Amino acid sequence: MIKLFLNTTDKFLCDRVKSVFSTTESKLQKEYSQDKLLKELEKFQENPLGCTIGIHSKFEKNVKMKIKLILGIFFVFIPLVVFSAFAYFTHIDISFALFATFAVAILVSSRMEEIAQRYVNFRKLELQHQLS
C-alpha cells in the first residue's frame, strides 16, 4: 500500500516537473537560445528549491515559483485540510494535523528536489545531444 502511494506520488511529481519545465521553455523560447537554456539548467541544478528573491533569470524564477506553488497546494494545503478534518471528527488534538502536514511537506519537498535534479540532468543531455 505504501509502495503504491509512493509510486503514485512520484509519477505525479514527475509529470508536474516535466510540465513546468516544458511550459516555461515554450513561453521563453524566443528569449533563450539552447546554449543559454543549458546555462540556466546548470544554475537551476545547483539549488532546485532555493529562494527566488534576487534571481534575475526569468526562466529560473518561473520554474521555482511554479514548483513551490505545486508543493504548497498539493502537499501542504490539501494535507492540512484533510488532517484537520480527521482531527476534528476523531476529536484528536489539532497539533496532529500540523505535525502530520509538516512531515508530508518535508518528505515530498526532498523528493521533489531529487526529481527536479534528475529531470534537469535529462534535459541537459537532450539539449547537448541536439547541439552536437
Angle at 123 between CA 33 and CA 114, to 5 degrees: 130
The sign of the torsion formed by the CA atoms of 110, 52, 77, 7 equals negative
Structural contact between residues 117 and 49, judged by C-beta atoms closer than 8 angstroms: no
- Split into its structural domains, the chain has a count of 1
Query: Using one digit for the tens of pLDDT, what is the confidence trace for 75-131?
Result: 999 999 999 999 999 999 999 999 999 999 998 888 898 999 999 999 889 888 887
Distances (CA, A) of 117 to 24, 47, 97, 132: 16, 9, 30, 23
Rounded to whole angstroms, the Cα distance separating 63 from 122 reads 16
pTM of the shown model = 0.85
- In the prediction, which pLDDT does 37 show? 85
pLDDT of residue 38 exceeding 80, the answer is yes
Confidence of residue 34 (pLDDT cuts 50, 70, 90): confident
Which residues span the domain enclosing 54?
2-131
Tell me the per-residue pLDDT of 42-86, one tens digit each, with 9 for 90 and over: 888 888 877 777 777 888 888 889 999 999 999 999 999 999 999
To the nearest 10 degrees (0 to 180), the angle between helices 2-27 and 58-72 is 150
